[in-house]
Structures are given as structure tokens and as C-alpha cells.
Amino acid sequence: MNKNPEPTYILVAEDDPTNQFVFRKILEKAGFEVLIVEDGQKALDACAVRRPDLILLDMMMPVLNGYETASSMIQDERLDGIPILALTANAMRGDEVKTRAAGCDDHIPKPVQMVLFLQKIRDWLSADPAAWMAHRLAKRRPPETAVG
Ligand SMILES: [Mg+2]
């Protein structure tokens, strides 16, 4: 066992202050290191600074919403192997399909139920990327033809 393991680092993109407070409280209490940003562009910027172990994305955010953010993230191979979980207030079937189509690996309905929320996060953190990355790669668009 590693005596001083790096804390598992979770990036949360969520614009609602109440949800930000709740997510920070639950995740920090569970021992995770947490960075909360309030829009999708800031989430992309944060990924460039430090690779998260898992990303939680609210779908309805200013600047760059969760769908746009996930679509962008799955194009970036530096983010391969990082689970991207959608947080959505619209607990509707069609919504889950939409989040997956955008590139999210799973879906957590809000308001979150703490035990299930943490279980889902731990399940994804312990999942072998080899088992699920194929689904993401299938959604990745081919690179644009180089210009010049
Ligand atoms: Mg929102």
C-alpha cells in the first residue's frame, strides 16, 4: 500500500450555488479532493491544468453547457480514461440518452441521493477504462482535415 496516496481529485462543473455547496460537502466528507467551477469552459480549462480522476458535469450551465462540454472533452485524448458523469435535473429517459450521446459515460439525477451518488462515483473510479473506453471512442468524431 502507498503510505501517502494522492487524494482522488474530482472536478465538478455546476453553476447552482446550493448544488455547489452540497456536492462539496458530500465529496470532501467522503475524502475526495474537489474543485468546483461554474461553467463548462472553466471545466475544460481546469482539465488542462490538472488531470481529474473523475468529472461531474451539470448539463445546464452558462458559457458552455454540459452537453457541449462533454462533446469537447471526448475529443481530447488527454482526457481518455476519465469518467464523465452527467448531473441533470431532468430525470427523464430522453435526457439520459442525450447526455450519453454528448459523450457522458453515465448519468446522475438531481437532487442527488447521497449514498447512491457516492456509490456511482466509486464504481466509476474503480472501473477499468479498458472496459468502457470503447464506447467513448465510438463517439469521437474523426479529426477535421488539416488546413494548410
Ligand atoms: Mg445548472
Q: Which residues surround ligand 1, an ion (CB under 5 A)?
A: 15, 58, 60
Condensed to tens digits (0 to 9), the pLDDT of residues 4-32 reads 678 999 999 999 999 999 999 999 999 99
Give residue 124 CA to ligand 1 midpoint distance, Å.
22
> Torsions phi, psi of 46, nearest 5?
-65, -35
Give residue 14 CA to ligand 1 midpoint distance, Å.
6
Domain boundaries, the chain: 9-139
Give residue 88 CA to ligand 1 midpoint distance, Å.
8
CATH fold for domain 9-139: Rossmann fold (3.40.50)
Condensed to tens digits (0 to 9), the pLDDT of residues 82-116 reads 999 999 886 666 788 899 999 999 999 888 999 99
Cα of first residue to Cα of last residue in the chain, in angstroms, is: 51
